[in-house]
Structure formats: C-alpha cells, structure tokens
Amino acid sequence: MPLEYKRVLLKLSGEALAGDKKFGLDYDIVTDICKSLKKCVALGAQIGIVVGGGNFFRGRSSLQMDRARADHMGMLATVMNSLAIADGLEAQQVPVRVQTAITMQQIAEPYIRNRAIRHLEKGRVVVFGCGTGNPYFSTDTASSLRAAEIDADIILKATMVDGVYDCDPNKYSNAVKYEKVSFQEVLEKGLGVMDSTAAAMCRDNKIPVLVFSLADPDNILRAIKGEKIGTIVKE
Ligand code: UDP
C-alpha cells in the first residue's frame, strides 16, 4: 500500500509522553511511539517531529513568573522531550537528528532549514526542539511553522483524544466528533484543535492537520498510510 503522506510533521504533546503519571516521561510510551515511527520510516516516510513540553513545564501556567522567562523554561522542556524521542529512536536503530531553534550546540544541531530537509531526504527523522525559539508562541505554532518550512504534506497531531469534537468529550457525553472540519470553523467555534495562531497559519498556508489519538501509537502509521482515523482539518 503506497503512503498517503510522504513528508509529515508529527506534533506530539508533552502530556502524551507522560502517560498516566501526567509528569515527566513514560519510557514505555516513548518506546512504543518510536517503534511505530520505525515502521513509517521503513515504508519511506520522511518525518519531522515537534514535541511539546507540558509534561515538564508550560510558560502560560506559571503565573508568578515573568512570561517570557517562563516560556524560556518551557522551551527547554521541549528539548528534554526531543532528546528522549531521539534516544528512543536510536534504540530502534532509526537515524535521527535533533535541531533546536535556540542554539545549544553541545547538545543538538542548530535549526537550519536546508540541513533539516537534507536529513529528511536521507531518511533521518528530525526532531525540532525549542518550538519556534520565541516566547509567547506554542509548539502548535512551531508545528505549523516547521511544516510550512519543510513543505510537509500534513501535520499529524497526535493527542489524548481521537479527533475534534463540537464540545469537550471528557465533559459532555453527547459530544459529536467531526470527520472533517475547516480551519474557519475551528477558529470561529474555538474548537480545541490548536491555538488560534497555529490554526490561522495552517489555514493561510494550506497545511491540513489530522488530529488523532496516540492511545495506540500505531495510529501514526495508520495516519501516514491514509487510513480513516481521527478528524481532518483543512481549507
Ligand atoms: N514555548 C515557547 N515558544 C514556542 C514553543 C513553546 O515559549 O515557540 C514554551 C511555552 O512556555 C510552552 C512550553 O514551551 O508552554 C511548552 O510548549 P507547549 O505548551 O506547546 O507544549 P504541549 O502543551 O504541547 O506539551
């Protein structure tokens, strides 16, 4: 079966890496994600990854701190997750490079677009750390930015829920899942797909987003193959 999407930007929330612990890293989850990614790479998929940092630190949650400084800490949290993913991929013999938007060359490569694309072409997974490198942004925005820069076919947004609902399915039992929804609707109704900056960027640059659950990490493989899962956001 040919791949539906050849080059993808996978967004993993920090929360998803913590599992039931809700904080830090659940290595079994990291390993399962990396095993699924190995299958995707074996089929020829080119994968860039943006990881969140919410399992360690979120700038907007620490109200006592100066926001920009708190966001710097949040960005450092994304680097910890990026390194964990890289480690998990290497353990599966998947070639990987970490590139950070804020240089820390003893730890990772600096983000250089052409170099990232070259890595992808050579079959290496590229993990983008530090989000956009700027405070007041999110890793969702970083996903849309990097997806545009590497000319990704789609953003695969792996989350804790299995798609986009008209209201919070954890609160309302009558919540209805969308199969397909437009960015305009996401923005107008404030649907919990991604923040508005990221959604507007995807809309303006015509980058579709597939939202699906990471409860089964092989959903990443299913998504890349084009199997019907989750909710597609486009146009
Ligand atoms: N962050 C930032 N700029 C960016 C991306 C992230 O300042 O471009 C910081 C921000 O503090 C954010 C934290 O990093 O709260 C972790 O990212 P995010 O909240 O997007 O992670 P997730 O919720 O997906 O785990």
Q: Supply the pLDDT for residue 192.
A: 85
- Which atom of ligand 1 is least distant from the CA of 55? 25
Q: Which CATH number among 3.20.80.10, 3.40.1160.10, 3.40.50.970, 3.10.20.30 corresponds to the domain 7-233?
A: 3.40.1160.10
Cα–Cα distances in angstroms (integers) from residue 206 to residues 11, 145, 153, 203, in the given order: 17, 12, 10, 5
3-state secondary structure of 121: helix
CB 100 near ligand 1, within 6 Å? no
Which sequence spans correspond to the domains of the chain? 7-233
Local confidence band at 2 (pLDDT 50, 70, 90 cut-offs)? confident
- For the chain, give the percent of residues with pLDDT over 70: 100
CB 54 near ligand 1, within 6 Å? yes
Q: What are the tens digits of pLDDT across the range 161-179?
A: 999 999 999 899 999 999 9
Provide the whole-model pTM. Answer: 0.97
Q: Supply the pLDDT for residue 21.
A: 87
CB 75 near ligand 1, within 6 Å? yes
Give the end-to-end CA distance of the chain in Å, rounded to a whole number: 27
How far is the centre of ligand 1, averaged over its atoms, from the C-alpha of 140 (Å)? 8
Question: Which among 1-5, 19-23, 93-97 has the top mean pLDDT?
Answer: 93-97
Report whether 38 contacts 181 (CB < 8 A): no
- What is the complex's ipTM, to 2 decimals? 0.97
Residues annotated in the binding site for UMP, as ranges? 53, 71, 132-139
3-state secondary structure of 148: helix
Q: What average pLDDT score do residues 30-36 get?
A: 98
The residue whose CB lies within 8 Å of the most ligand 1 atoms, and thus the one to mutate among 78, 160, 193, is: 78
Q: Supply the pLDDT for residue 1.
A: 67
Q: What are the tens digits of pLDDT across the range 52-105?
A: 999 999 998 888 999 999 999 999 999 999 999 999 999 999 999 999 999 999
